[in-house]
Amino acid sequence: MEIWINPACSKCRAATAALDDSGTPYTVRRYLEDPPTADELTDVLARLNLEPWHIARMNEKPAVALRDLPRDEAHRADWIAALVADPILIQRPIITSDDGTTAIARDPETVSRFLRP
């Protein structure tokens, strides 16, 4: 299992604490220091069944450049490129289990789906 985190994010800290408390093994990816490639982000989006604009943090400063970018298939690659270039724009934490199940785990209920019983 892998979790993409920003250590400064309270939701990320809560998710990793829940994983730790349950004894669930995982690997941390500090995605601001080790940004996903366009292919990796495309794979995650497919597993999430979401479009890149669905996981964009539009309140971040770099999101200004995205506000007028159309949310359509013709501009999908532009969205992915923007998220890869400024990973602070990617919603977090994102957990991917070994079976490929992936979720944006911002709440305890979602995190609990990944915990070791």
In the prediction, which pLDDT does 116 show? Answer: 86
User: What pLDDT digit, counting tens, does each position of 93-114 carry?
Assistant: 999 999 999 999 999 999 999 9
In the prediction, which pLDDT does 115 show? Answer: 96
In the prediction, which pLDDT does 89 show? Answer: 98
Burial (CB count within 10 angstroms: exposed 0-12, middle 13-18, buried 19+), residue 48 = middle
User: What pLDDT digit, counting tens, does each position of 32-71 carry?
Assistant: 999 999 999 999 999 999 999 999 999 999 999 999 999 9
pTM for the model stands at 0.94
